């Protein structure tokens, strides 16, 4: 069984994001970039399934500029077998990403897609669902536990009311949630081995996908700064202040 794991290059989660002076977007120059944390969880889960003998090959794919190769190398160091870079300097929206992944799944004859439920830069949480719809595959989203057995996947999902366990047939799309696992740190020997693993380069044109944007961002602004609070001496004063502010 061959598994596809998409990995996205995003601003590192430890970095304080800054908005550009012209409000056209987020500042990316001289900013530390890393793999999307939800995608790290997806890579870890795929590697664990391979170690358990459930799958035979892990293909990591990233869509973005040449620097996205570094993100693929991280996945290879964690245990992926080979990588595919769909090279483009253009911003790629979730639907275009799903269409590119659909083409790769078909070309590579893949059986399973394990991917992060969302990217921390746009928080769209759309690509996995769109990909499942385009492929006509069942999907298990927000997975906190995954079990492969007899040509099916048992997925425990995190939902508003608690947990839901579903069983879906393979081929399928699974999106990972935070509680699924704890991603490993790549060891130095594995980092060195990752440099020898193959990465194929393609372009959206090679895959026959139009990635023209369908959305236009009008303005990007930082959230309003939180105002300082005040102390009150009694419940009566608190209620009075709330009424004065129109809260109650």
* Tokens found for residue 150: 């007899």
- At residue 231, what are phi and psi to the nearest 5 degrees? -100, 145
pLDDT at residue 242 in the model = 87
Q: Where are the domains of the chain?
A: 2-244
pLDDT (tens digit, 9 = 90+) per residue, 12-43?
888 888 888 888 888 888 888 899 999 999 99
pLDDT at residue 130 in the model = 96
Task: Calculate what percentage of the chain has a pLDDT beyond 90.
Answer: 68
Burial of 150 (0-12, 13-18, 19+ CB in 10 A): exposed
**Domain 2-244, CATH among 3.30.2130.10, 3.10.20.70, 3.40.50.620, 3.30.1330.10:** 3.40.50.620
CA atoms within 13 A on the CB side of 76: 24
Model confidence, pTM: 0.85
> Has residue 122 got a pLDDT over 90?
no
pLDDT (tens digit, 9 = 90+) per residue, 190-233?
999 998 999 999 999 999 999 998 888 888 888 888 888 888 88
Neighbours of 195 (CB within 10 A): 9
Sequence-distant (6+) residues with CB within 8 A of 32 are 11, 12, 14, 15
Task: Calculate what percentage of the chain has a pLDDT beyond 70.
Answer: 100
Average pLDDT, the chain: 91
């Amino acid at each position: 069984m061959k598994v596809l794991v998409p990995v996205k290059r995003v601003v590192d989660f430890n970095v304080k994001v800054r908005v550009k002076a012209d409000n056209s977007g987020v500042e990316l120059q001289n900013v530390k970039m890393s793999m999307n944390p939800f995608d790290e969880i997806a890579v870890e889960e795929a590697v664990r399934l391979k170690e358990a003998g459930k799958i035979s090959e892990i293909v990591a794919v990233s869509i973005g500029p040449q620097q996205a190769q570094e993100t693929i190398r991280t996945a290879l160091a964690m245990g992926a077998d080979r990588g595919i870079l769909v090279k483009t300097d253009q911003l790629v929206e979730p639907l275009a990403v799903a269409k590119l992944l659909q083409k790769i799944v078909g070309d590579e004859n893949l059986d399973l897609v394990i991917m992060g439920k969302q990217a921390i830069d746009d928080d769209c949480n759309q690509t996995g669902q769109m990909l499942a719809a385009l492929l006509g595959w069942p999907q298990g989203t927000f997975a906190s536990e995954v079990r492969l057995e007899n040509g099916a996947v048992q997925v425990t999902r995190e939902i508003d009311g608690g947990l839901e366990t579903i069983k879906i047939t393979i081929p399928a799309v699974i999106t990972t949630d935070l509680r699924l696992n704890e991603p490993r740190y790549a060891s130095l020997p594995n980092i060195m081995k990752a440099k020898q693993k193959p990465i194929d380069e393609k372009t959206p044109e090679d895959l026959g996908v139009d990635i023209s944007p369908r959305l236009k961002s009008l303005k990007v602004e930082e959230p309003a700064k939180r105002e300082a609070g005040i102390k009150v001496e009694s419940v009566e004063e608190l209620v009075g202040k709330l009424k004065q502010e129109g809260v109650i």
